[in-house]
Every structure is written in C-alpha cells, then in structure tokens.
Amino acid sequence: MPETSCDTTGLADEIDAASASVSHSPARALWIQIALALGGFAIGTGEFALMGLMPNVASDLNVTEPQVGHLISAYALGVVVGAPLLAILGARFFRQHLLIGLMGFYALGNLASALAPDYDSLMVFRFIAGLPHGAYFGVAALVAASLVPADQRAKAVSRVMVGLTLALLIGNPLATLLGQYVEWRYAFAFVGLVAVVTLASVALFLPVDRTEERQAPLAEVRAFNQPAIWYPLAIGAIGFAGMFCVFSYLAPTLLNVTGVSRNWIPVALLVFGLGGFVGNLLGGWVFDRLGFKGVGWLLAWAAVTLAVFPSTTGNLPLLLGMCFLVSLMVGLGPALQTHLMDVAAGAQTLAAASHHAAFNTANALGPWLGGVAIGAGFGWDVTGYVGAATAVAGLVIFTMAWKSRRTAHP
C-alpha cells in the first residue's frame, strides 16, 4: 500500500473550506490552473535566464562569469527574504488580490533588470525581482490544491509547476536565443510582459472568494515553528543545490570542456528543460503513491546522476543525455511542496512560500559552491561532484526526518 502522510488535517480543512465557499466548473478550474502556470512560466524564465546568458552578460558588463553567478545568487537571496516576509504580510489579503499584486511586483522587477545600466544596479534589481517569487508559488499551490480531491493534490500542484518546467523547456532557450541574436536585456523585458499577461489572466479567471478564511500573520508564524516543517525545508535548501550547481555553469562547461560552439547552449538548455518537465510530473506521481518516502528515492537518484555527470562532459551526446537525467530531480519540487502542505496545519501559506525560499537557498548555494570549486582550479566539470555531495547531504537530512516521523508516529 502507498504510504500516506502522517498529518493532512490542516490542508484537508483548508481545501474543504475553499471548496464549500466557491464551486468551480471543470472548465473554469482548468483556466485557473493555466493562469497560475503562466505565472510559473514567467518566474521560471526570469529565474533561469542568466544561466544561459552567462557569457553574454559577462561580456557586455565587463565582468567574469562567476560574477554573473553572483547575480543568480542575488535573485535567489531575494526569494529567500521575500517568500516568508510577503507570505506573512499577505496573510490578510484575499488570494486573488495577493496573486495579482505579487505578479505585478515581479513584472516591475524584471523590467527594471532589462534597463539596468551596470552590474551593481543589475544586482539590486535581480534581488528585488526575486522577492515575490516564493509567495506567488505558495499561494498558487494552495489554490491549485483546493480545486481537486485530496488524493490528487500533488498532481494539481505539479500542473501549476508545469509553468516552471516549461520555462526550462521553452522559456530559457528562448531567452538565450534573444540574448545571442538581439541582446540579453530583451529576455527580461519578455519576462515582464508575460508577468503582465499573468496578472490579467488571474484577475479574469480566479474570482475573489469573500468568504475565504484568512490567517492572522502571527498565528501562521507560531504554527510554522515545528520540526516537521523545518526538515523538508532543509532537504530542499541543501539536497536540491546540486542541480543548480550543474545548471548554472552548463554554458561555460559546454564551451570550455565539451568544446562546442555557442549554438549548442540553447539545445542543452532545451534538453535540461525536457528532463525538468518530465521530472515535475514524475515527482507528483511518485508522491501520490509513496508519500514522503518518495523524496528519499528522488534524492538517491540525484546523488548518482550528479556523480556521473563529470565523466560525460567531454562527449556532447553523453552530456546531453546526462542533462536530461540530472534534471529529473526537479521532481523533488511537487513532492516536498505537497508534503509541507500536509504537515503545516495552521501555516499552509507560510510553509508553501518557504518551500520556494528553501529551493532558492539551493539556487544560491549551488552556484556559490560551484564557483568556489572552479575558482580553486578544479575545472568546470567539478560541479557534478559538488552537486552529488549536496544531494547526499540532503539524503542524510531525509533520514533524520524519517526517523523523527517514525518516533512521533510509531
């Protein structure tokens, strides 16, 4: 029998309340999910754009590629700061209003990035653009879960997260092509435009639920402080860093190790995105069947594939195949997101938003650790070994969390 979560009361109550207050037709529910996924596409494209444009931005702003990696970390730091802060401040708002405000904020941050005159201002604007990221996904996940029966929650969350994986599959290669054939600034202008379309779509398809139960900010903070929440956040923050470590330096690895032309960078990003798309759907499927145990299997897979990655960097077909396999670890996203909503009774919004803060801690940690190793002279392909180490560390935290669950629920 599949494992079931140890505590689903909080999320189930919230879903029941939402379903009782607003009934959506299947067609309306589908359009809501599409609108939410479009926001995920905007955010994913904005988050990952610099990874494919690293050589272009470095050349234009006269900085090194590891310094461009710091811009990626600045965005991730904005997510880490903004996710819990905006989730707490937004607890009193209706979800439709909050989603519109967050997406408008995101549009402004990316349009400012497109107009940044120098490296320092771009650093500031990337931090600002990251602030609404986590809170948007947290609220979007709760809305998606409220649209379906309880045993389909992970699939619903993964459908919203499809926007993020489509950003890897389509948005990021498109942003890279814009940077290569026009200018990298157009990539962020494109993200700002998609964000504006998203907020208009949310306003059109997601009605305001005037009976929606809103949380007192301090009550969410109090309910948030429990080990059952902190363990999965730590798994995401550390165990997922390996994918970002490899992905952030994929472009220079292709140029300097594999020895191919820049024309292959969008292709590699497309393959990476395809793996992320499949992994996202796989993660929802795995969690709906195995529960929290599935997280351990996904981490083990990540550790193995990341350790093998360096041995494939000298051969383009092998490297492309390994890009697909490594990016399957995106499945950790919907699995950990749904688990957090299960265990965070009374703090669903804050926990769901903090999930993305944790993943963007990984987004900051991965490129930083990779940059340190590369700067120490270990070569571009060392990112795989660094990533494998973080996946193993995540597996250790998972083991601790599993033992804690068994102790609390023998």
Q: What is the pLDDT of residues 54-110, one digit of tens each?
A: 888 888 898 887 788 788 888 888 988 888 888 888 777 888 888 999 999 999 999
- Residue 306 has what pLDDT? 95
d(CA 312, CA 186): 33
* pLDDT more than 90, % of the chain: 28
Residue 131 has pLDDT above 90, yes or no: yes
Q: Which amino acid is at 184?
A: W
Confidence of residue 188 (pLDDT cuts 50, 70, 90): very high
pTM comes to: 0.72
User: For residue 403, how many other CB atoms are within 10 A of its CB?
Assistant: 10
Structure tokens at 135: 């809170």
Question: Average of pLDDT values for 331-343?
Answer: 81
Q: What domains sit in the chain, N to C, each tagged with a CATH number? A: 9-408 (1.20.1250.20)
How high is the mean pLDDT of the chain? 82
Q: Give the C-alpha separation, 280 to 338, whole Å.
A: 13
Residue 155 CA to residue 20 CA, distance in Å, equals 21
Whether residue 202 contacts residue 39, with contact meaning beta carbons closer than 8 Å, is answered with yes
Q: How far apart are CA 62 and CA 119, in angstroms?
A: 9
Q: Which residue has the higher pLDDT, 127 or 93?
A: 127
The pLDDT of 139-157, averaged and rounded, is 74
Alpha-carbon span 11 to 153, nearest angstrom: 10
| pLDDT exceeds 90 at position 196 | yes
Q: Nearest CA to 40 among 175, 141, 164?
A: 164
CA distance 55 to 255: 10
CA dist list (Å): 356 to 57, 115, 132, 178, 332: 26, 27, 10, 27, 12
